[in-house]
């Protein structure tokens, strides 16, 4: 009795101390940006737009009749958005911001949830969104599999679902309406084109792979290697190691690489963060900008700045601004129009030609 | 009758070989890896290469030093990776005042987590693994509240810390070496070190002997927190960015590996600082070798597992004696 009381007080004291610490720590903080009068952080306009190309040629379509729902008006509907990962990287930040901005500009009520990279949480998030009265769902899935129970619950209520950036393994126009996303294999192919252009099609290239067991990693690798093999027999992939999509790992692996392979011609990083790590490593080793050709995928502002500074040869964009196209799709669908089941978005690219002007577009 | 020494020699060998392996196997492992790399890896014998390996191992080593203290006191500190994240967040938040203030903020943050760990263990009586697990979760959470996403560090002082050197020795390596010597001296030559080992050997006996058990335990975890915070600063300086989402993830496991492989028993009462340094270097060389030869990353994990099992096996044999 007494000891439990003591323990409760201790727990409370620890909690209070933690809250006090958080407040005290942020209260008098002063970052470099504060000190320098914040030169860059405010310039985050949501300027880019997602341009759709209807699924290559024979795209299957879906209508509200075939899905089994009823026509509604999007303007009076409530849309639920389930985000997969915490908004800690530029891609997720831009994605959520784009959905929010579009909902606001259309005057649609939006409910949001974030699964913090836990799949079980995402399942319960979606169930919560349905319970709170979402009429339509936009989901950025963490995994492709395991959606059975949620989809059954949504199908029972005829709630149309649009998935963005990753596909789920289910029947389109039955379990969900459409998938909107980039073609990761195509991103790999375009990165290869850029690498061939930058290196002149000769030499040895290294690949900084993303996290293992992730479809983004396998598809960006496949597209790159297939295109290199087909188009540039003089270019050889001599090194493939994972940087786990993280800058620090990208830096460490590149440091090892340039030590044992000092004559490496190019580095293909499967996301911008690892590419920036590679830039750090090359700087640390005293290399000149452009001595090793770096091509990355994503299109974050830091990487595009890297092109302007001469360190990066090309950035293939993976556009996170799904808001307009997702709401266009839902709007068309609820009005009874046909929508494509697979909507592949057009990603642009940054090179030394357009990097400076494109800096405002980067996220 | 003719060979009286023979029956005695057999148990002598059995008893000594594992003890030797536990104590010095890690040095042999480092030597073997170095030799193999000199023979097989192109461009291995260059100053640049050794510099790279040393710079990469420095943060792990600094964390492992604190971990060695915790393990020596028959505990463990799982919160070190989160302390690195907290340290990088605080550093970024306070860098506007200049690098020294930011450094102090980061170190104070690490000390605060250590104080919380130590208090839970010494006063509330929570098991070290549970107490530090709680702070591991809380620490990363706090780090992300303070700094939700990666932010670049542009301070010239931090850049110098990460990339410049003194008399040919990079700053992070120099700092790690000084800290290793300081911790080694503390363990071997100070009253505090002796008390720590006595507590690690048997806490009840230490209490009966009148040692300040609670105070020593709290200081041990504060040291571990401060060392992890310094490692966070070093890693941030190298990366030129504060990334609390990924910095220090799984660092606690790397640190425990380095300590255990270095011959410090998990049962406490004994700390091998030289072995810990060699353990960290061994893991670094292993990873470097596999990356340089472009072997699949899964192999690195398997190789690490094999090394850990070998080290623990050696420790078990000794325990049975």
> Who has greater pLDDT, B319 or A314?
A314
Q: What is the pLDDT of residue A166?
A: 84
- Read off φ and ψ for residue A213, nearest 5 degrees: 75, 25
Asked whether the predicted pLDDT for residue A81 surpasses 70, the reply is yes
- Mean pLDDT across B92-119: 94
Q: What is the pLDDT of residue A253?
A: 94
Domains in chain A: boundaries: 51-181+320-346, 184-318
Q: In this structure, are strands A78-83 and A109-114 parallel, antiparallel, or unpaired? A: parallel
Nearest CA in chain B to A262: B43
> Who has greater pLDDT, B115 or A64?
B115
Percent of the residues in chain A that have a pLDDT greater than 90, as a whole number: 37
The per-residue pLDDT for range B67-76, each reduced to its tens digit, is 999 999 999 9
- Mean pLDDT across A334-339: 86
Q: Considering only CA atoms, which of A332, A330, A339, A323 is closest in space to residue A103?
A: A323
Inside any domain, residue B13: no
Q: What is the pLDDT of residue A43?
A: 37
Q: What is the pLDDT of residue B184?
A: 96
Asked whether the predicted pLDDT for residue A52 surpasses 70, the reply is no
Contact A32 B247 (CB under 8 A): no
Nearest CA in chain A to B99: A32
Which residues of chain B have a CB within 8 Å of the CB of A17? 116
Residues 6+ apart with CB under 8 A from A116: A85, A86
pLDDT confidence of A61, banded at 50, 70, 90?
A: confident
Give the mean pLDDT of chain B: 88
Asked whether the predicted pLDDT for residue A302 surpasses 50, the reply is yes
The per-residue pLDDT for range A246-288, each reduced to its tens digit, is 899 999 999 999 998 999 999 999 999 999 999 999 998 889 9
Asked whether the predicted pLDDT for residue B122 surpasses 80, the reply is yes
C-beta separation of B149 from A363 below 8 A: no
Would you call A275 helix, strand, or coil by DSSP? helix
Q: Considering only CA atoms, which of A271, A218, A219, A276 is closest in space to residue A244?
A: A271
C-beta separation of A90 from A301 below 8 A: yes
Q: What is the pLDDT of residue B42?
A: 85
pLDDT confidence of B79, banded at 50, 70, 90?
A: very high
Which residues of chain A have a CB within 8 Å of the CB of B297? 212, 241-242
> Who has greater pLDDT, B66 or A147?
B66
Contact A32 B144 (CB under 8 A): no
CATH number of this structure's domain A184-318, picked from the four choices 3.30.360.10, 3.40.50.2300, 3.40.50.1110, 3.40.720.10: 3.40.50.2300
Residue A306, min C-alpha distance to chain B (Å): 13
CA dihedral A74, A75, A79, A83 (to 10 degrees): 100
Inside any domain, residue B201: yes
Interhelix angle for A184-199 vs A215-231, to 10°?
40
Contact B153 A32 (CB under 8 A): yes
Asked whether the predicted pLDDT for residue A2 surpasses 70, the reply is no
Give the mean pLDDT of chain A: 83
Which of B 193-222 lie inside 8 A of A, CB atoms? Answer: none
- Read off φ and ψ for residue A108, nearest 5 degrees: -95, 140
Distance CA B113, CA B101 (A): 19
Nearest to B288 among A14, A256, A284 (CB): A256
- Is B95 an interface residue toward A (CB < 8 Å)? yes
Is A184-318 the same fold as A51-181+320-346?
yes
Q: What is the pLDDT of residue B77?
A: 95
Asked whether the predicted pLDDT for residue A223 surpasses 50, the reply is yes
Domain extent for B247: 47-320
Best of A28, A259, A277, A363 to disrupt the B interface (most B CBs within 10 Å) is: A259
CATH number of the domain that residue B165 is part of: 1.10.3470
Contact B41 A260 (CB under 8 A): yes
Q: What is the pLDDT of residue A40?
A: 40
Q: What is the pLDDT of residue A357?
A: 79
C-beta separation of B63 from B84 below 8 A: yes
Asked whether the predicted pLDDT for residue B60 surpasses 70, the reply is yes
The first and second tokens of residue A195, run together, are 């690498």
Inside any domain, residue B29: no
Q: Residue B141: is it exposed, middle or buried by C-beta count within 10 angstroms (0-12/13-18/19+)?
A: middle
The first and second tokens of residue B276, run together, are 């810990």
- Mean pLDDT across B190-205: 94
Q: What is the pLDDT of residue A222?
A: 94
Q: What is the DSSP string of B46-114?
A: SHHHHHHHHHHHHHHHHHHHHHHHHHHTT---TTHHHHHHHHHHHHHHHGGG-HHHHHHHHHHHHHHHH
Inside any domain, residue B22: no
- Mean pLDDT across A8-36: 66
Inside any domain, residue B198: yes
- Is B84 an interface residue toward A (CB < 8 Å)? no
Q: What is the pLDDT of residue A346?
A: 81
CA distance to A138, A180, A259, A354, B46, per residue, from B41 (Å): 51, 46, 10, 41, 11
Q: Does domain A51-181+320-346 have CATH number 3.40.50.2300?
A: yes
Distance CA B145, CA B147 (A): 6
Distance CA B6, CA B187 (A): 40
The per-residue pLDDT for range B288-305, each reduced to its tens digit, is 998 998 888 778 778 878
pTM of the model: 0.83
- Runs of H (alpha helix) within chain B: 6-40, 47-72, 80-94, 99-119, 128-146, 156-163, 171-189, 191-201, 203-208, 213-239, 251-261, 273-292, 297-320
Q: Considering only CA atoms, which of B52, B87, B99, B60 is closest in space to residue B258?
A: B60
Contact A31 B144 (CB under 8 A): no
Number of domains in chain B: 1
Inside any domain, residue B79: yes
């Amino acid at each position: 009795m007494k000891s439990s009381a003591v323990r409760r007080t201790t727990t409370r004291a620890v909690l209070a101390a933690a809250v006090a610490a958080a407040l005290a720590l942020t209260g008098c903080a002063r970052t470099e940006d504060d000190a320098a009068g914040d030169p860059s952080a405010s310039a985050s306009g949501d300027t880019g737009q997602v341009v759709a190309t209807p699924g290559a040629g024979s795209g299957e379509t879906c209508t509200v009749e075939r899905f089994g729902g009823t026509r509604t008006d999007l303007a009076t509907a409530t849309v639920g958005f389930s985000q997969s990962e915490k908004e800690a990287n530029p891609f997720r930040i831009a994605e959520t911001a784009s959905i929010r901005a579009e909902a606001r500009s259309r005057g649609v009520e939006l409910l949001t949830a974030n699964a913090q990279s836990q799949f079980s949480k995402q399942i319960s998030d979606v169930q919560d969104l349905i319970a709170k009265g979402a009429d339509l769902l936009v989901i950025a899935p963490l995994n492709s599999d395991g959606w059975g129970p949620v989809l059954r619950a949504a199908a029972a209520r005829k709630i149309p679902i649009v998935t963005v950036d990753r596909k789920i393994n289910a029947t389109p126009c039955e379990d969900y309406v459409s998938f909107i996303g980039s073609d990761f294999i195509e991103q790999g192919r375009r990165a290869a084109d850029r690498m061939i252009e930058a290196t002149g099609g000769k030499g040895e290239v290294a690949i900084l792979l993303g996290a293992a067991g992730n479809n983004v990693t396998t598809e960006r690798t496949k597209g790159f290697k297939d295109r290199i093999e087909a188009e540039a027999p003089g270019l050889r992939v001599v090194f493939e190691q994972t940087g786990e999509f993280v800058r620090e790992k990208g830096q460490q692996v590149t440091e090892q690489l340039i030590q044992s392979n000092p004559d490496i011609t190019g580095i293909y990083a499967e996301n911008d963060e690892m590419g920036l790590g590679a830039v750090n490593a090359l700087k640390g080793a005293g290399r000149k900008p452009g001595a090793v050709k770096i091509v990355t995928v994503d299109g974050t502002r830091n990487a595009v700045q890297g092109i302007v500074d001469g360190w990066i040869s090309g950035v293939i964009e993976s556009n996170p601004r799904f808001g307009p196209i997702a709401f266009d799709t839902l709007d068309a669908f609820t009005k009874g129009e046909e929508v494509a089941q697979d909507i592949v978005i057009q990603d642009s690219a940054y090179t030394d030609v357009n990097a400076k002007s494109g800096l405002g577009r980067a996220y | 009758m003719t060979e009286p020494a023979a029956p005695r020699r057999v148990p002598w060998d059995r008893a000594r070989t594992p003890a030797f392996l536990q104590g010095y196997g890690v040095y042999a492992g480092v030597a073997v890896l170095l030799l193999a790399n000199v023979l097989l890896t192109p461009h291995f014998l260059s100053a640049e290469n050794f510099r790279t390996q040393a710079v990469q191992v420095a943060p792990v080593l600094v964390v492992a030093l604190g971990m060695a203290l915790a393990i020596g006191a028959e505990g463990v500190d799982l919160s070190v990776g989160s302390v690195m994240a907290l340290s990088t967040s605080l550093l970024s938040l306070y860098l506007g005042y200049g690098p020294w203030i930011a450094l102090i903020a980061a170190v104070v943050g690490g000390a605060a987590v250590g104080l919380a760990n130590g208090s839970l263990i010494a006063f509330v009586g929570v098991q070290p693994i549970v107490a530090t697990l709680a702070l591991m979760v809380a620490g990363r959470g706090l780090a992300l509240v303070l700094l939700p996403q990666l932010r670049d560090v542009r301070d010239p002082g931090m850049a110098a810390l990460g990339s410049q050197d003194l008399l040919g020795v990079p700053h992070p390596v120099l700092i790690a070496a000084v800290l290793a010597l300081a911790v080694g001296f503390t363990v071997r030559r100070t009253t505090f070190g002796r008390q720590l080992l006595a507590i690690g050997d048997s806490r009840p006996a230490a209490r009966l002997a009148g040692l300040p058990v609670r105070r020593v335990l709290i200081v041990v975890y504060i040291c571990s927190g401060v060392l992890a915070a310094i490692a966070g600063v070093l890693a941030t300086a190298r990366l030129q960015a504060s990334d609390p989402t990924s910095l220090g993830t799984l660092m606690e496991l790397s640190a425990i590996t380095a300590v255990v492989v270095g011959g410090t028993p998990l049962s406490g009462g004994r700390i091998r600082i030289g072995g810990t340094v060699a353990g960290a270097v061994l893991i670094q060389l292993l990873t470097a070798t596999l990356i340089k030869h472009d072997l699949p990353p899964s192999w690195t994990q398997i190789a690490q597992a094999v090394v850990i099992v070998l080290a623990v096996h050696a420790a078990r044999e000794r325990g049975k004696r």
